[in-house]
Amino acid sequence: MRVSARPDRPALLDFDFVEAAPPWRSGCTWLAGARREAWTTAAPVAVRDDGDGDRPRREAGDWAAIAVHRAADADVADAAQALYARLIASVRPSAHPYLIRLWNFFGAINAGEGDAERYRRFCVGRNAAVDAMFRDPPPAATAIGAPDARAPLSVVALCSTRPAIALENPRQTPAWQYPREYGPVPPGFSRGAVLRDGDGATLLASGTASIVGHVSQHRGDVVAQLDESLANLEVLLEEGGRRSGARFDLEGLQALRVYLRDPATLPAVQARLDGLGLPGERIAFLHGEVCRVELDVEIEGVFGAD
C-alpha cells in the first residue's frame, strides 16, 4: 500500500479534497497543501456495487474500500446505527471481512450538551450496530465534524483479507477504555494500525489530538496542541516499530491530514510544520471540527517503513 497526491495507477482509495462527491468526500473544506490523497496497491482495482446502488466498493487483491452515507437525521445515533449495520452486513460475508481503517464525517459534531452532543450520540449509534469482531480490537479511525452543519454522515472503510496489527499509544488511554465522563459509550477506535503487504509495512495513524492519558491539553493554544499531537504521533510510530519489527519515523511520511477548527489558525500551523522539515506537498490542511470542543487541531497520517 502506498499513498501519494499523484498516483501512477488507479487508486483503491481516492480522497479528492476539492472535487470528490459523497460518500468519498469528507465534507471538510480544503484550505491548503495536497488536494488529493490516493491509496494504491500493486493489484489492479475493480469497481463494483454492493447491489443497492448506494455502497460503492473498490477491490484490489487483499484490499477493499467501501463507502456509505446517509442524510443527517435529527438524531445522529439513528444514522450511525443504520450505516454501521449496513457496513458490517456488507463486509463480514465478503472476501475482505476485516475492517482496518475508518473515516467518519458529519456536520455539527459538537452540537448538543452533555450526552446529547452529536459526537456522543454517534458513538452510541455505532456501538449499537457493530459486532464483537469490531470491538476486538476496534479498527483505526477518525471522526471529524464537517463545517456544514447539514452535511450527511459519511463513512469510508478500508478492509482486508487479514487483520492488521492494532496499535495503542503508551501516552494515551485507549479510546475504547475512556471513563464515563466522555459519554455513555466510549469511542470505538484504536490509535493506529500496521499493514504488511507486497510493498512492505505501512503504519496508519488514527485521528491524533492533544490528549495525554484521556485529558485534553493546551486549551486555546493551537500550536501547543499541534506539538502535543506530534509527540503522540512519534510515540505511536515507535510503538508500531516495536509491535511489527519494522522501523517507522516522520521521514517515512506518505500523507498527513491536518484538521483545523478555525481556518484563521492555518498560517501558524503551517509555519510550525514547515519548521520541522515535513514535505508540504504531502500535507493536506482541512477545515474540520475535532470531536472534543476544546481541541482546535487533529492530525492523521500514513507512514512507510524505512
Q: What are the tens digits of pLDDT across the range 49-83?
A: 765 555 579 999 999 999 988 887 779 999 999 99
Is residue 169 within 8 A of residue 205, CB to CB? The reply is no
- Cell for 18? 476539492
pLDDT band at 281 (very low <50, low <70, confident <90, very high): very high
Those residues whose C-beta lies under 8 Å from the C-beta of residue 56, and which sit 6 or more positions away, are 23, 24, 47, 49, 50, 66, 67
The mean pLDDT of 112-140, rounded to a whole number, is 96
pLDDT band at 25 (very low <50, low <70, confident <90, very high): confident
Short-list 16, 188, 173, CA closest to 102: 188
- Cell for 219? 486549551
Q: Is 13 exposed, middle or buried (0-12, 13-18, 19+ CB in 10 A)?
A: buried
Q: What are phi and psi of 164, to 5 degrees?
A: -90, 175
pTM reported for the whole predicted model: 0.96
Amino acid (one-letter) located at 222: V
Could you give the CA distance from residue 193 to residue 164 in angstroms, rounded to a whole number? 6
Partnered with residue 205 across adjacent β-strands are 192, 301
Phi-psi region of 280 (alpha: psi -120 to 50; beta: other; left: phi over 0): alpha
Candidate from 29-38, 55-64, 205-214 with smallest mean pLDDT: 55-64
Amino acid (one-letter) located at 139: P
Candidate from 20-29, 208-217, 253-262, 275-284 with smallest mean pLDDT: 20-29
Coil, helix or strand at residue 12: coil
Would you say residue 256 has pLDDT above 70? yes
The mean pLDDT of 116-131, rounded to a whole number, is 97
Name the percent of the chain in helix, strand, coil, to the closest 5: 25, 35, 40
Cα–Cα separations (whole angstroms), residue 283 to 21, 109, 135, 175? 21, 24, 31, 25
Would you say residue 101 has pLDDT above 80? yes
Phi-psi region of 61 (alpha: psi -120 to 50; beta: other; left: phi over 0): left
Beta strand 98-107 pairing with 140-146: parallel
Per residue in 168-201, pLDDT tens? 999 999 999 999 999 999 999 999 999 987 768 9
Would you say residue 23 has pLDDT above 70? no
DSSP state of 227: H
The pLDDT assigned to 200 comes to: 85
- Which tops the pLDDT comparison, 26 or 101? 101
Candidate from 15-24, 275-284, 285-294 with smallest mean pLDDT: 15-24
Candidate from 46-50, 65-69, 113-117, 143-147 with smallest mean pLDDT: 46-50
Could you give the CA distance from residue 302 to residue 1 in angstroms, rounded to a whole number? 10
The pLDDT assigned to 199 comes to: 65
* C-alpha torsion 189→193→197→201, nearest 10: 160
Q: Which residues are catalytic?
A: 298
Q: Is 110 exposed, middle or buried (0-12, 13-18, 19+ CB in 10 A)?
A: middle
The pLDDT assigned to 22 comes to: 62
- Cell for 92? 463480514
Report the mean per-residue pLDDT for the chain.
93
The mean pLDDT of 109-118, rounded to a whole number, is 97
Could you give the CA distance from residue 284 to residue 299 in angstroms, rounded to a whole number? 10
Would you say residue 147 has pLDDT above 80? yes
Phi-psi region of 245 (alpha: psi -120 to 50; beta: other; left: phi over 0): left
- Which tops the pLDDT comparison, 57 or 296? 296
Amino acid (one-letter) located at 18: V
The pLDDT assigned to 196 comes to: 87
Q: Which residue has the cell 476485516?
A: 98
